[in-house]
Every structure is written in C-alpha cells, then in structure tokens.
Amino acid sequence: MAEMTFMGAAGEVTGSCYLLRTAHTQLLLECGIQQGGADADRANRRSLAELAKKIDAVVLSHGHLDHAGLLPKLVRDGFQGPVYCTVATLELLEIMLKDAAHVMAKDIEWENKWRERAGKPLIEPVYTQDDVEATLALCQPLLYGAPTTIAPDLRLIYHDAGHILGSAIVELMIEDGGRTRHLVFSGDLGNPDSVLMYKPASMKHADVVLMESTYGDRDHRPLADTVEELANILEQANRDGGNVLIPAFAVGRTQEMLYHLSMLYHQGRLPQQKIFLDSPMGIQVTELYGRRRNQLNGGDIKALSQAAGSDLDHALPILQFTRRVDESMAINRIKSGAIIIAGAGMCTGGRIRHHLKYNLWRKQNHVVIVGFQAKGSLGRLLVDGVERVKLLGSEVAVKARIHTLGGFSAHAGQSQLVGWAKGFKGKPVFYMVHGEPQARDALAELLRKTHGIDARVPEYGETITL
C-alpha cells in the first residue's frame, strides 16, 4: 500500500520535501532548501545519507531553491538516481544551483573571516560546484503533457503551473494492488495576474491532492493598483533624493519587475536615471526568459514589444546588468536616483545584503518588498518593522522606508487556490502544504466549511496512506 511522509514544508513555506513509498519504489517529491536564519542553516546541514541510500528517484515541480535547492546536498551524501523535471526547469537549475553554490561559498568566506577574528570554528558550505555538476548529470527533462513511466508502478505527467518558467503541477499514477491511485501535487500555483506566465492548468481527477497554501488566508491586491503604488513609491523616492532597493527572487519576480518598470518607463512615469540588475543569476535567468519567449504569455510580451517600439532589446534603455563584483561595489557610491534589483529575494544572502548595509540607514531611501518573506528571514524582519539589523558583521539602523507590495506575487491568492481545488471531480482528499500555519489552516477551513472539500493539515514527519 502506498504511503507518503511529509518531510518538509508542513507548516512552513520553504524546504519542500515529501517521501512517497509504493510496493516497489521510494520516490522523493521535491528536495528544497530551508530559508530563514540559523535554524534553517542547521536543517540544511543535516546528513541526507540515509535518505539518499533508500530512494530510487526524485521528482521536481520547478526550479526555485525552496523546492530544489538541496538536491546537490542529497547527491553529495550519496544519491545517484534520476532527477525528473521539465525541460525549462533543467535550464534554470543549471543557473540557480551553480549560483547558489557560488553565493554560499562567498557568504561563508565572509562568515569565516568574522569567525576567525572571534576565535570560533570555521564552517564549510552545504555543497560545492562539483556537487552541482554531479546533480545536473542526473537530471532527465520531460515535456508538459507527456506520460512517462519512471518506475514499474509509477507514471508521471507534468502540467503547466503558471508560476515561473518550467513550473509544473505533478500528476503521478500509482499502480497499487490492481488499482491505480491518482496523486496530484500542485507545486506552486501561479498568480493569474502574472504578466509573463499562463494561467495554471486545471486538473479534474485525483484521489489525493497535495496543495500549496502560501497565500491561503488572503487575496492579492489587484495588479493595476499594485503597479500604481509602485509608481507612487518611485516618485516619492525621487522627491526624497534617495535610492530604491528591490530584493527580488532571480527567477520570475525579477523578470516581472523588469516588465513593469519597462512599461512605466515608456509611459514617462519612471523618474530614476538608472536601474541596476545586480544579480548574476538574475541576469542569466532574464536572458533565458528572453530565449524562451515562446513559452511566455504572448499577449503581454507583445504589449511590451509595442511599448518599446517593437524592439524588446530597447524595452528598458536605463537598465544596466552588473555581473562583476567591482561593478556591484561601485553602485554603493550612488546616493540617489537609482533602482537596485538584487538577490536574494528574502535578503538571506547575496548582493542585496551589501546594498542594504549601505542604504538602510538613510531615511531618503526606500526598500520595496515584492515577494513572500519567510519567518526568520531578514526580509521578514524588515517587513515586521525591526529598528536595527545585523549585516555582514555590522549593526545597521533601519531608517529607510519599507514598502510591501503583495500584488506582484507569483503565487495564487486564496480565491484562485479555492477555484483550482473546486475544479476536481469526485471527492479527492486534500493535504495543505507549503504554507505557514495561519495561511494553511485558513485555507483548509474554508475548503471544508464552505465548499465541502475534505481538506487536512499534515504535521511535519506525519505519514499518510494513499
């Protein structure tokens, strides 16, 4: 009899990981990294050797690090089986995992300098570039809608989740004692208002559904209102004589922000003189999105092309890619008139922390939060109104204005989640995953009481029978 154990993203939004056991196969669905402070770092460093020995394969829904970022650690600890993903997800993984290993190495280099001065033991990265190369060699890319036998008793089909390039809803057919069990995992469902992605595919058949609940307790502000608020913030920052910092996830959010900034530019509503995309990974992903335009929402791409005079390469003339470290450091000499987009999206590492160190203490500056901030992350602390933060060994006062714009989210809001769940025929059992307790519980209650759906809330480590 098939069973599933919830090994991550149960009551939280990072570290997605679910172990599926059938009569013949053990499959890991997702292998996400934990994000958000010291506890997350300790969780990422735990040995995966025992898990690596017993699983036959890994199935990924998409390339975001909270769903795939611990794969090289799994491989480092002994896993050598196939990793299934979509074609575009593999392209993203090559960029993201290499960048993650690079950023990890650089952040640990800074950390070890401080540790050495303090007489504390030095630490090593969770994984290295060699581990990433070994991981990529195991990946087997699949097309949307193509049924694939991945084990004697398992068939896999990917459907477009509309979240980021290559994101997928995972459909698994499990042969179990003469019967076929249908398991559907939503992955991260996209926001239908997204300008670059298509709407998530509707699903009709399942016995069990694992459903994300990131925004299970609220809807997003309408996109038009959110863009208007962004325009007002940019105008205010110009009047204040400061810079605008946008911590952004390199995949999806960065490209959406560049789209909206491009449209504002061509409408004459962008007063800043320069936009810096200061994220090597974000630059590579943006270039990949450009090459994969045929997989994006054609209507919105056409609108941007028309605004740019039919030449997307000139959609945002004031945009500058800063690949090198010296270019990134030079940005910190600019006191006003700049928009700086940098990763990581939750401010947990990468170049955004350097820019925050040089800009947070100046009241003329503005920080625009455009993505979900996990509990324990620096971004969450800023959203919650912390007055001082520690950045790269220094304490920094938070004087800049902090803005939160949820309407740019790449996740479906509550109403969209409910609509997607109501599309299933029959009476599948739903398990709420990938959501903090308040959001997860609110969605489960709404599905149960208002729509008669059997929605359950699994605990971390809980095992269910399919």
CATH number at residue 241: 3.40.50.10890
Q: Are residues 56 and 163 in the same domain?
A: yes
The number of residues in the chain equals 466
Q: What is the pLDDT of residue 436?
A: 93
What residues pair up with 219 in beta bridges, in sequence order? none
Per-residue pLDDT of the chain (466 residues; tens, 9 = 90+): 899 999 999 999 999 999 999 999 999 999 999 987 678 888 999 999 999 999 999 999 999 999 999 999 999 999 999 999 999 999 999 999 998 898 889 888 888 998 999 999 999 999 999 999 999 999 999 999 999 999 999 999 999 999 999 999 999 999 988 899 999 999 999 999 999 999 999 999 999 999 999 999 999 999 999 999 999 999 999 999 999 999 998 899 999 999 999 999 999 999 999 999 999 989 999 999 989 988 888 878 777 777 666 556 678 999 999 999 999 999 999 999 999 999 888 998 889 999 999 999 999 999 999 988 988 899 999 999 999 999 988 999 999 999 999 899 899 999 999 999 999 999 999 999 999 999 999 999 999 999 999 999 999 999 999 9
CATH number at residue 34: 3.60.15.10
- Give the helix ranges, DSSP H, for 77-86: none
Give the residue numbers spanning the domain of 311.
223-408
**How many angstroms separate the CA atoms of 277 and 153, rounded?**
46
**How many angstroms separate the CA atoms of 128 and 355, rounded?**
26
**How many angstroms separate the CA atoms of 166 and 420, rounded?**
19
What angle do the packed helices 129-136 and 87-118 form, to 10 degrees? 160
Residue 301: other Cβ atoms inside 10 A: 18
What residues pair up with 277 in beta bridges, in sequence order? 321, 341
Q: Are residues 170 and 205 in the same domain?
A: yes
**How many angstroms separate the CA atoms of 342 and 247, rounded?**
5
- How far is residue 164 CA from its own chain's centroid? 9
Q: Are residues 188 and 262 in the same domain?
A: no
What angle do the packed helices 280-291 and 253-266 form, to 10 degrees? 80
Last residue of a domain, one of 389, 408, 427: 408
Q: Are residues 206 and 242 in the same domain?
A: no
Express each pLDDT in 296-336 by its tens digit.
888 787 777 776 665 566 789 999 999 999 999 999 999 99
Whether residue 156 contacts residue 148, with contact meaning beta carbons closer than 8 Å, is answered with: yes
Q: What is the pLDDT of residue 313?
A: 63
Q: Are residues 173 and 287 in the same domain?
A: no
CA distances from 49 to 45, 53, 79, 360 (A): 11, 6, 8, 41
Q: Are residues 438 and 398 in the same domain?
A: no
Is residue 133 within a helix (H) or strand (E), and if so which, with residue range?
helix 129-136
Q: Are residues 188 and 273 in the same domain?
A: no
Domain tally for the chain? 2
Q: What is the pLDDT of residue 343?
A: 87
Q: Are residues 49 and 172 in the same domain?
A: yes
Last residue of a domain, one of 408, 431, 456: 408
What residues pair up with 282 in beta bridges, in sequence order? none
Q: First and final CA of the chain: distance in angstroms?
A: 8
Q: Are residues 145 and 270 in the same domain?
A: no
Q: Are residues 227 and 360 in the same domain?
A: yes
pTM of the model: 0.90
Q: Are residues 404 and 414 in the same domain?
A: no
Q: What is the pLDDT of residue 312?
A: 60
**Which tokens hold the place of 228?**
């208007």
Q: Are residues 305 and 431 in the same domain?
A: no
Q: What is the pLDDT of residue 299?
A: 72
Whether residue 413 contacts residue 218, with contact meaning beta carbons closer than 8 Å, is answered with: yes
Task: Return all residues near 216 (Cβ < 8 A) that are at least 6 apart.
Answer: 414, 417, 432, 435, 439, 440, 441, 442, 443, 444, 446
**How many angstroms separate the CA atoms of 403 and 230, rounded?**
9
